[in-house]
A and B are shown apart, each in its own frame.
Chain A
Amino acid sequence: MIENFDMSLVDWSRAQFALTAMYHWIFVPLTLGLAFIIAIMETIYVKTGNPEWKKITKFWMTLFGINFAIGVATGIILEFEFGTNWSNYSWFVGDIFGAPLAVEGIMAFFMESTFIAVMFFGWNKVSKKFHLISTWLVAVGSNLSALWILVANGWMQNPVGMKFNPDTARNEMVNFWDVLFSPTAVNKFLHTISSAYTLAAIFVIGVSAWYLLKKLNIAFAKKSIVVAAVFGLITSLFTVMTGDNSAREIVRDQPMKFAAMEGLYDGSKGAGLVAFGIMSSTSENGNDNMKDFNFKLEIPNLLSYMAYMDGDAFVPGVNDVINGFTDNDGVVHPSVTTKIEMGRKAIHALKDYKQAQKDKDATLAQTSLNELKENFKYFGYGYFDDPYNTVPPISITFYSFHIMVGLGMWFLLLFTLALLFVYKESIVNNKWFLRAAIWSIPLAYVASQSGWIVAEMGRQPWVIQDLMPTLTAVSNIDTTSVQITFFLFLTVFTGLLIAEIKIMLKQIKLGPNHGGH
């Protein structure tokens, strides 16, 4: 059936969505994290009454404002794309996404838009306490609006709390709480926001390090580093913890994705963790997606331990998921060939059901409905012929995952060293550290984007796990129009990014004594 799809249209639609999502994600994490750092700084100001902290708060608020303003509404483009390029998908999930996105809209509008005005215009016009509350509410509001979109993404990775309606071809929510509190959604939200906080902390440390290197605003920079390093150390530890929980969730709900993240082709008991690996450009096993390792540094039993808290547990590899396996809880996972057969039955049953309704054949309609219900769990597999088409791109998933984890470890060290050097009063003299801190700003963005590449590439070929492959999600539109808008977005977003960097650099050069906003 796969030959019935225009893969060029699918690929361009994916490229366009990836482009807009990645650009959008350049702006979002800094907003999410910097909002809290500012709130902490302002709290110190209100508690101590020290005007130096007011100056510090106002400076970082200026950079927050620039980032917020340039990034605002860049996510709306994604919603345009849902309606135009991904109409099958939007229709299929409409009811599930409707509620979280509506709540997001209300939250974003009332909390962010209302209180951000007080945050920027309210100095000396409202009481200190009311201003502080507004700053905290902006932080909470922006994070709450992230919650709903991440819940929607979590549902796509692990669809729960819904029922498929064959009359409308839509999934309908039957339990809002199952959707909201699905372990996938909870872990995704916590891991994403904590990594965003970490990015913002690195941003503050990096910019402050630049001042120290230039011997400018020393006291201001040191104070900023202390707040950011404490905040960053806590959030990066939390990021490690939530990442660990996410991985344990993935090995159960998306074992193929987990195998791709780890470059694990054949599962085993007591599986080792590849801490570092280089894949060869060729493959001896006849599958270009499953390249051999030229070199790998493996820590015995660690993967089993991390996945199941048991060093001897069985961790399935790509081939195990393809051929079927029994997991550590005794649950039998059928082979992909079996899932393909079930998926085909489900697709035929849906087709027969619609035909039976047209023909007013109640018996056939009921039989088809039963067949659909029985096999719906693997509906999406019915579009594939070769089981290996259900394997995500392994190299990119493996490398992105390892880059993210490796950088995460560096950030932990960075925060620890920052605190140590400030405590020892030697931070100004450690020029190598200050330079490393500045270079860590782009690295934080690389880590953040890599995380999303793992999440989204690793779950391919699914747009909704097991139910809807990416190739059936796209609208039947002209590929040329997708290509045109791809380059339009590239131009618009690159322009926005250049504007942001230019305005921000100007403000950073002017420094905290310029008077904020």
Chain B
Amino acid sequence: MKLLLSLKKIWKFYYEGFAGQKSWSRQVWLIIILKLFIMFFVLKLFFFPNFLKTKYTNDKDRGDYVIEQLTNPKK
């Protein structure tokens, strides 16, 4: 019961905080959401795959590949 009351208090705190924001706060929230969308759903997905993770399935192969790159670099 106590936990529920605390959770309710926290919810109210955040709800009132967000509801009472000034216009600049709403603008920056929009920018944050847009920015995170571009970063994680555009850049990360389409432009920034993890090179070694996508190329190899286990750490041994990844290590062997890096050693090959370090000891026998090719263009």
Q: Which residues of A contact B (CB under 8 A)?
A: 1, 4-6, 62, 65-66, 69-70, 72-74, 76-77, 80-81, 83-85, 87-88, 90-92, 117, 120-122, 125, 166-170, 347-348, 350-351, 354, 383, 472, 475-477, 481, 484-485, 488, 492, 496, 499, 503, 506-507, 515-517
Contact = CB atoms under 8 A, between A and B. Distances in A.
A351 B72 contact: yes
A426 B54 CA distance: 65
Contact of A485 (B27, B31, B48): B48
A354 B36 contact: no
Interface string B15-40: 01110111011011101100110110
Contact of B38 (A62, A72, A492, A506): A492
Given A5-B73, A92-B66, A84 B48 contact: yes
A354 B43 contact: no
B73 A472 contact: yes
B43 A77 contact: yes
A354 B70 contact: no
B35 A496 contact: yes
B43 A169 contact: no
A476 B69 contact: yes
B31 A70 contact: yes
B31 A168 contact: no
Contact of B47 (A70, A354, A476, A485): A485
Given A66-B24, A73-B36, A168-B59, A484 B69 contact: no
A354 B71 contact: yes
Nearest to A348: B71
A170 B28 contact: no
Q: Pick from B21, B29, B47, B70 the residue with the most CB of A within 10 Å.
A: B70
B67 interface: yes
B65 to A, nearest CB: 9
Nearest to B71: A351
Contacts of A83: 48-53
A503 B27 contact: yes
Given A66-B24, A80-B44, A472-B69, A6 B63 contact: no
A4 to B, nearest CB: 4
A30 to B, nearest CB: 14
Given A65-B28, A354-B71, A496-B31, A121 B14 contact: yes
Contacts of A515: 22
Contacts of B72: 351
B51 A506 contact: no
Contacts of A85: 51
Contact of B50 (A69, A87, A122, A476): A87
Given A5-B75, A354-B71, 9 more contacts: A4-B73, A69-B28, A80-B44, A83-B53, A84-B49, A121-B17, A122-B17, A472-B70, A476-B74
A499 B35 CA distance: 12
A79 B66 CA distance: 19
A475 B48 CA distance: 12
A315 B66 CA distance: 38
Contacts of A348: 71
A69 B29 contact: yes
A73 B72 CA distance: 37
Given A66-B24, A87-B52, A77 B39 contact: yes
B13 interface: yes
Contacts of A81: 48
A254 B8 CA distance: 56
B47 to A, nearest CB: 5
B9 to A, nearest CB: 10
Nearest to A493: B35
A371 B59 CA distance: 25
Contacts of A488: 43, 47
Contacts of B18: 121
B21 A350 contact: no
Contact of A117 (B17, B20, B24, B73): B17
A496 B44 CA distance: 18
A475 B17 contact: no
Contacts of A1: 73
A73 B35 contact: yes
Given A77-B43, A87-B50, A121-B14, A4 B75 contact: yes
B66 A91 contact: yes
A488 B43 CA distance: 9
Given A66-B24, A496-B35, A170 B17 contact: no
Contacts of A5: 73, 75
B31 A499 contact: yes
A517 B51 contact: no
A308 to B, nearest CB: 36
